[in-house]
Amino acid sequence: MITAKFEYTGEDVVAYEVSGHAMSAEPGKDLVCAGVSAVVFGITNALIGLGLEESNVKMKDDGYLRVDTRDADEDMNALIYGLIVSLETIERENDEYLAVIMET
């Protein structure tokens, strides 16, 4: 299962972490994994394009990604909330393979 955790302080997302594997199909045919990866990496790259420091992004080869978003501006926050909505949309139809968790 893929777990996407969003950490909040008040109303602001201060970090997000994505880990695990969907295992909804064999490697190379796993549409849940492909969808989550596309959304997460697309938004993360967009955040970097808007000025998020690359040092705020931690990634491992085993499917782990953590992004510190404490310094996000208004535009970045809009993308982060778009990431949440996109992942929740995928989760709605695939909750056995993806869990979106909000932590305060």
Catalytic annotation on 33? yes
What pLDDT score does 5 carry? Answer: 98
Contact yes or no for 19/60 (Cβ under 8 A): no
From the candidates 5, 21, 34, 56, give the one annotated as an active-site residue: 21
pLDDT at 63: 87
- pLDDT tens per residue, range 35-91: 999 999 999 999 999 999 999 999 998 889 999 999 999 999 999 999 999 999 999
Angle between helices 31-49 and 74-93 (to 10 degrees): 180
> Which residue, among 62, 39, 65, has the nearest Cα to 54 in the 3D structure?
65
Q: Which of 15, 22, 33, 98 is catalytic?
A: 33
Q: Which domains does the chain have, with CATH numbers?
A: 2-103 (3.30.70.1490)
Mean pLDDT of 17-25: 96
The pLDDT assigned to 79 comes to: 98
For the question of whether the overall pTM of this predicted structure is more than 0.85, the answer is yes
